[in-house]
Structure 1
Amino acid sequence: MSAAASLPHDAARQHVSGSARYVDDIPTPQGTLHLAFGLSSCAAGQIRSVDLSAVRACPGVHLVLEAKDLPHANDVSPSAHDEPLLADGQVHYAGQPIFLVVAESHHLARRAARLAKIEITAEPALLTIEQALAAESRFEDGPRIYTKGTPQSAMKGVIHRLQGQINLGGQEHFYLEGQAALALPGDHGDMVIHSSTQHPTEIQHKVAEALNIAQHAVRVEVRRMGGGFGGKESQGNALAVACALAASFTGRPCKMRYDRDDDFIITGKRHDCRIDYDVGFDDSGRVQALEFTHYFRCGWALDLSLPVADRAMLHADNAYDLPHVKITSHRLKTNTQSATAFRGFGGPQGMVGIERVMDHIAHSLSCDPAEVRRRNYYPEMSSKPAARPSVTPYQMDVTDFILGDMTESLLQRCDYHARKAEVARWNASHALLKRGIAFSPVKFGISFTLTHLNQAGALVQIYTDGSVLINHGGTEMGQGLFQKLTQVAARSLGAQQAVIRASATDTSKVPNTSATAASSGADLNGMAVQAACDTLIGRLKDHVAAQHGVKPEEITFAEGQVTAPGLVLTWQEVIASAYEARISLSATGFYKTPEIAWDRIKGAG
């Protein structure tokens, strides 16, 4: 089968038959214990007393842990060490874990957790954006601001001016597979963790920190997730750390999964926010000056809120050349779940803001909204090769903008104008049922704003029968990443797709990985796999050249055959021969994205 063929997901049969194995499906060793958190019912307050006697006396309970019982770091934060695994004297949101129950079964642990008697002196809770603003409750000393041009002075000379506000709600990820982890204690205090996570290396770091052991003593394995959407980038830390701690205390395997209601209550969501805007524009709808103010409700702990809010600012221009613009972003601390990564990672919020502005302008001028958008696009660089490129609000040159021609093609192909006229006719004759049609561009930055995360590694191993096993730092959550990377390997090695497999993501094979996020999984890990394959092909070509008296550049590997002038060999023959000649059939690959530089404090890069 060709490496370029359109193939189904590598686990498609398992998915539809129900045989795909997730963390909760892994056969557990005899004696495995199960965990559940005891949660706060109060959004803000001081813990006055905790009576867990009834919990400890419950049949099947082996261990109950509070913050004071933890031997080392009590933190599961991905960023600022401000997120204790178990509340330490104070609660910050309704649903915050206060204690941990370790019992013979999942249901026994959950039932026992409900028997606790906890006294909390409630304090005023900050739940809304307005309450947080009034209390100056925020994660940075003040708002972050990007400015391009002179928006305040430019606003004074505008022909038309509008103000508005849009409120964007949060979202629950609702991955089909909930949060889950399994910890298996090993020799010398080592720990093997199976986790439903988008970030195995972060799980490794947090477990090592909680147990005060070296990172090489923690191995994290992820075969697949039943969906992630950003909700498993950092939110799996608590379960993995809890299981590792319990396994360390008891010497027994420990497993934890959230019931769906616990998952809803404990874990973070998409950041909800409010966006205020003040825009000035001319008679054609071209924006002359614009001021945005973003108010992000981040929750009780920092998590990934700063880069999420940053990315909203980076997407606030979307596809539009704004000559004078100011973007102000408030990151507000509230007594709610810590909002976290969610598909788009702040980008959707930023783009919805500017798209609302475009619609508001079009409505006020009675113009076609699609046309107003086109008039505000960045200029096509292909038509002005000598012109100085336009610059985004974050000081990046726009050098390859092609959306103008693309928009023209899309509007023609979808018959936009005829359909818009039909919508108008329908709406004129129907008082209650209305129709609509809309067009809008979408920009998405495919990289991490934390520059050092834009790297990946891979390990590719060829066995003596010609089969190939690849391991990489990306995680599979239904998006087909493993199949994509086996296709990269098949193309790079010139081998048949059928002989190549991707193994479960494993921190002991590829270290120091980045999260599978920012739409970068295939880009980063694919290039790392290709680099490893290129190394192997170089060795194999040198071997075939020396053995058969041909030049390396004359040798071609394709579709399982190796050819050169006067020579035809099978892939398996070459591999067997290389092994016998003591040629290394294992290679690592590494990739770092070029031309990326970002200074988040300056807001430039």
Structure 2
Amino acid sequence: FADSAHVFGGEFQFAGQEHFYLETHAALALIDENEQVFVQSSTQHPSETQEIVSHVLGVPAHEVTVQCLRMGGGFGGKEMQPHGFAAVAALGAKLTGRPVRFRLNRTQDLTMSGKRHGFHATWKIGFDTEGRIQALDATLVADGGWSLDLSEPVLARALCHIDNTYWIPHARVAGRVARTNTVSNTAFRGFGGPQGMLVIEDILGRCAPLLGLDPAELRERNFYRPGQGQTTPYGQPVTQAERITAVWRQVQDDARFAERTRAIDAFNATHPHTKRALAVTGIKFGISFNLTAFNQGGALVLIYKDGSVLINHGGTEMGQGLHTKMLQV
């Protein structure tokens, strides 16, 4: 910061987001003739649903079978949250000896289920005379809700995406999870990545007019550059960095960004009460898990004498067409 020509600071707060999957949380549980527990659950994580049901009932996991035929949408909202509801159904079946179906109506689901984490960010950023970032000091606080759930890995992913497409030579970014009196917030598509990227994008959007630069120009000046050995703040080399600028410029050319921006400026100059705007935002998104042990996959393929094929895999169908894709194999 001492070497920066311009230093700005501020804070930014934004709320969460509802998954609004078409099928609400639902589970069906029954006890079979061998006193084994069978649960059909709308869950993205059947193995953990099995673990929680066995824990609640006080029986070994091998006495619990969890099946997920398909979900009517998930988006992360059924990664951790279905387990308790499945356990309620299983407990009811265990106590009554009868099948128990559990399903939330829409109002209950909206009220009870966890959302995307809202964040509060405080930041300080330094630029040189050309508008290139020199340093960033930021603290991200995630609204975890009443329990920890997946807040720690969500926050970790936010911290690892705060650079987005930009080279930040000196960075110190801290993260905290706040326990609050609301639903237990959970996984949601992007899993913290969008929140981290939103913070740096908001910072650049606020600083561009202070630096006298067009927001798109400020962004492009700070892209990762090829051949300079640049790494992310957490030490990962950014290979093929030229793709960032190439995609950015191609999108602008294909969208006639400059032409449309001039048309918008002309419209705004003659319409004092109605305004238009156009923005473009780059994204560098990591597709792996921060916990590297999760970066694996496996499948078992059985081919029978009659030519039929059975595929066992670790995926769940939530509307992405997984069953169709497996048939296409």
Match of residue 189 from structure 1 = 35
Offset of residue 216 of structure 1: 2.2
Q: Is 2:3 the partner of 1:157?
A: yes
Q: Gapped runs of 5+ residues in structure 1? A: 1-154, 490-605
In structure 2, C-alpha distance between the alignment counterparts of 1:215 and 1:206, rounded to whole Å: 9
Matching of residue 390 in structure 1 with residue 230 in structure 2: yes
In the alignment, which residue of structure 1 is the partner of 2:252? Answer: 411
Aligned to 1:346: 192
Aligned-residue offset at 1:460: 2.3
Task: Measure how far apart 1:484 and its partner are.
Answer: 2.5
Identity of aligned residues (%): 47
Tell me the equivalent position of 1:294: 140
Distance in 2, matches of 1:462 and 1:432, equals: 68
Between the aligned partners of 2:121 and 2:322, the Cα distance in structure 1 is 35
| 1:190-205 superposed matches below 5 A | 190-205=36-51
Q: Which has the larger radius of gyration?
A: 1
Shift in CA distance, 261/403, structure 1 to aligned 2, threshold 3 Å: same
Give the TM-score of the pair, scaled to structure 2. Answer: 0.95
SS in 2 for 1:391: coil
**Equivalences for residues 195-234 of structure 1 within 5 A:** 195-234=41-80
**After the TM superposition, which residues 43-62 of structure 1 pair with which residues of structure 2 at under 5 Å, given as runs?**
none
Among residues 266, 271, 274, which one is paired with 1:433 in the alignment? 274
Provide the rounded CA distance (Å) in 1 between the counterparts of 2:179 and 2:42.
28
2:99 counterpart residue number: 253
Q: Which residue identity is paired with 1:378? A: Y
Matches within 5 A, 1:518-557: none
SS at match of 2:298: strand
SS at match of 2:202: helix
| Distance (whole Å) between structure 1 residues aligned to residue 292 and residue 55 of structure 2 | 24
4+ long deviations beyond 4 Å:
none
SS in structure 2 at match of 1:238: helix
Is 1:451 aligned to 2:297, yes or no?
Answer: no
Give the equivalent residue in structure 1 for 2:175: 329
- Write the distance in 2 (CA, Å) between the matches of 1:205 and 1:180: 17
Q: Which amino acid aligns with 1:348?
A: P
2:112: which partner in 1? 266
How far, CA to CA, are the matches of 2:167 and 2:32 in structure 1? 58
Counterparts of 1:221 and 1:355, CA distance in 2: 41
Deviation track 1:36-88 (CA, whole Å, cap 9, x = no partner) reads xxxxxxxxxxxxxxxxxxxxxxxxxxxxxxxxxxxxxxxxxxxxxxxxxxxxx
8 Å CA contact 1:172–1:264 kept in 2: the answer is yes
Residues 255 and 372 (structure 1 numbering): CA distance in 2 closer, same or farther, change over 3 Å? same
1:167 and 1:274 in contact (8 A); partners too: yes
Q: Tell me if the contact between 1:284 and 1:372 (Cα under 8 Å) persists in the aligned partners.
A: no
On the 8 A contact 1:285/1:361 being kept in 2, the answer is: no
Secondary structure, counterpart of 1:164 in structure 2: strand
Matched residues, number = 328
Note if 1:171 corresponds to 2:12. no
The code of the aligned residue for 2:86 comes to A
Secondary structure (helix, strand or coil) at the match of 1:297 reads strand
The more displaced of 447-456 and 201-210 is: 447-456
Letter in 2 for 1:398: V
SS at match of 2:149: coil
> Any conservation in 2 of the 1:192–1:218 contact (CA below 8 Å)?
yes
Q: What is the aligned partner in structure 2 of residue 369 from structure 1?
A: 215
Stretches of structure 2 lacking an aligned partner (at least 5 in a row): none
In the alignment, residue 266 of structure 2 is paired with which amino acid? R
The CA deviation string for residues 297-328 of structure 1, in whole angstroms up to 9 with x for no partner, is 11111100101111110110001110111111
State how far apart, in whole Å, the 2-side matches of 1:357 and 1:423 are: 23
CA RMSD of aligned residues (A): 1.5
What CA distance in whole angstroms lies between the structure 2 residues aligned with 1:275 and 1:327? 10
Give distance in 1, aligned partners of 2:33 and 2:232.
54
What letter matches 2:240 in structure 1? D
Choose 257-266 or 300-309, whichever is displaced more. 257-266
Separation (CA, whole Å) in 2 of partners of 1:251 and 1:463: 38
1:448-474 Cα offsets, whole Å, 9 max, x none, are 222222233323233444332323211
Paired residue for 1:400, among 230, 240, 247? 240
Tell me by how many angstroms 1:359 deviates. 1.1
- C-alpha displacement of 1:261: 1.6
Where does 1:77-88 land on structure 2 (aligned, <5 Å)?
A: none
2:299 and 2:261 map into 1 onto residues whose CA distance is: 50
Q: CA deviation at 1:414?
A: 1.3
Q: Deviations over 1:531-576 (max 9, x none)?
A: xxxxxxxxxxxxxxxxxxxxxxxxxxxxxxxxxxxxxxxxxxxxxx
**TM-superposed deviation, 1:192:** 1.3
Partner of 1:579: none
Query: Matched residue of 1:189: which SS?
Result: coil
In the alignment, which residue of structure 2 is the partner of 1:17?
A: none
Q: Which residue of 2 aligns with 1:467?
A: 308
